[in-house]
Amino acid sequence: MGRDSDPIGKKLDDGPPPPAYAPGSSSEEEDAAILPTGVLDPVYDAKARVLNRAIQDIGMGWYQWQLFIVVGFGWAADNLWPIATSLVLTPVSNEFDPARPPILTLSQNIGLLAGAAFWGFGCDVFGRRWGFNLTLGLAAVWGMVAAGAPSFAAICVFAALWSFGVGGNLPVDSAIFLEFLPGSHQYLLTVLSVDWAIAQVVTNLVAWPLLGSLTCQQEQETCTKSENMGWRYFLITMGGLTLVMFFIRFVCFTIFESPKYLMGKGRDEEAVRIVHEVARRNGKTTELTVDELKACEPEGYTVQADVSTTLKRNLQKLDSSQVKVLFSTRRLALSTGLIMAVWALIGLAYPLYNAFLPYIQAMRGVEFADGSTYITYRNNLIIAVLGVPGALIGGFLVELPYVGRKGALFGSTALTGVFLYCSTIAKTSTQLLGWNCAFNLCSSTMYAVLYGYTPELFPTPQRGTGNALTATCNRIFGIMAPIVAMFANLETAAPVYTSGALFIAAGLLVLAMPYESRGRVAL
């Protein structure tokens, strides 16, 4: 990392302290109803305000736009690999003939839960850089290894292992992106979902020729490995694509450690150097100094920065005293509880239908006398394309007056459920395709809004805890989806009805959310 030549130790002239509430944010009185006074660490809070002001002064520049691109790889992987699992479910089931095919999806979701917990909390202990670089590498390696799986049990184990890496992408990537992002550009967290949607298109585009032409047909009585190599080639391709993204991150881009993480470890000098380096890369300068951060400390203040102390401090996020902050006022408790419930319902609803979409498409295709694997994967590609405008629509809607985050999330979530119900009345493959296109358009909009809205609901010191709670709810209920599917008949509309009802229920819960974050700097 290059060093700026500015005298970073020189103290600025004394002046007024940074404003507690940035222009355009909600009022002190209104925010106080959400976050009670006295719950923040005053030293960390004061230093964080200084850093926030410096990053805002630097603005959105070359470094942040580069970060926007490479962080998008994490969003892409978060959708690429679960979609890959759903796409290979049918050919894997045809080859190995397992008693309960949904176990493959269950294994994936267990890995996602473990990865989210380990990397989400681990990035506060070992830093963001390790997780940022390793998560994609692990997913790539285990994904390619899975192509050689000799049995259904083996592919389930490998799915859990690649998902352990994938599960860490969003917790780590969103943290490091937000910590370099000026408050004026928070909407970019919603726009990042375009990468999530594009990954779905790319995955289905690769799957169409490989799985559509090089796997066993749905109506075949026997399926040998030599007739079914398409899913193995597909996993190698997806692993190779993820490896390219890892290479770009690790070799072609220099990721700096989060200044706030370094500041929390007592490494103020390094934090200031990184802010100066970001400013230099953006073609700007900053007057931030180490003395300015030290001025926030009372006399005799020291920071214990060893790993064991840091680990102990971050494990406190799991005890009631830390979680209690998120329920310490009526509005904050209602906000936290409702967003956890929304994530939980969507965590069950989305994989209950989408993870088995190719399987359902193939089954219904046979019913409509149009069930070739080629048609099935072609239709899935068409459905995936609708996700790209969905993400862009989400980024547009969240900034509209009288709509905002709540209106956009309610509308997209409820419509997702409605279109699922509509799909049950399809009488032809074309009708089913049309309803599923509408479903994917709305669900992509929903996820784009949800990913951007959720971090804005939590105060900065508890944002990691809040994100961990919502992610845990989502992953736990995601684990329940394949368990439900094991005891449901996927050839009937039962999973569709259940999933649709859950989406509509989640949309109604959004209407009760007490906090609209449009036009406000995150607390």
Domains of the chain: 62-256+324-511 (1.20.1250.20)
pLDDT for the residue 11: 36
- CA distance linking residue 190 with residue 197, whole number of Å: 12
Nearest to 196 by CA among 352, 342, 73: 73
Assign 76 a pLDDT band (cuts: 50, 70, 90). Answer: very high
Nearest to 275 by CA among 482, 476, 68, 64: 64
pLDDT tens sequence across 494-521: 778 888 999 999 999 999 988 786 655 4
**CB–CB of 11/507 below 8 Å?**
no
Weakest mean pLDDT among 29-38, 202-211, 475-484, 486-495: 29-38
pLDDT at 340 over 70: yes
**CB–CB of 106/376 below 8 Å?**
no
Weakest mean pLDDT among 429-438, 481-490, 493-502: 481-490
Query: What count of other Cβ atoms lies within 10 Å of the Cβ of residue 391?
Result: 27
Query: Left if phi > 0, otherwise alpha if psi is -120 to 50, otherwise beta: which for 17?
Result: beta
What percent of the chain is modeled with pLDDT above 70? 79
pLDDT tens sequence across 132-179: 888 999 999 999 999 999 999 999 999 999 999 998 887 788 778 877
pLDDT tens sequence across 242-261: 999 999 998 888 888 888 77
pLDDT at 233 over 90: yes
Q: Which amino acid is it at 361? A: Q
List, in order, residues 6 or more apart from 74 with CB less than 8 Å away: 132, 135, 136, 169, 170, 172, 173
pLDDT for the residue 446: 94
pLDDT for the residue 442: 95
> Tokens for 313?
């401090």
- What would the mean pLDDT of 308-330 be, rounded to a whole number? 60
List, in order, residues 6 or more apart from 360 with CB less than 8 Å away: 353, 490, 495, 496
Considering the chain, what is the average pLDDT of its residues?
80
> Tokens for 169?
């992408």
> Tokens for 129?
């850089």
List, in order, residues 6 or more apart from 319 with CB less than 8 Å away: none
CA 91 vs CA 151, 152, 218, 306, 447: distances in Å:
13, 11, 8, 50, 28
pLDDT tens sequence across 3-26: 333 333 333 334 333 333 333 334
- CA distance linking residue 463 with residue 306, whole number of Å: 23
pLDDT for the residue 492: 62
Cα dihedral across residues 201, 202, 203, 207: positive or negative: positive
> Tokens for 69?
């691109």
Nearest to 349 by CA among 451, 417, 437, 434: 417
Query: What count of other Cβ atoms lies within 10 Å of the Cβ of residue 234?
Result: 25
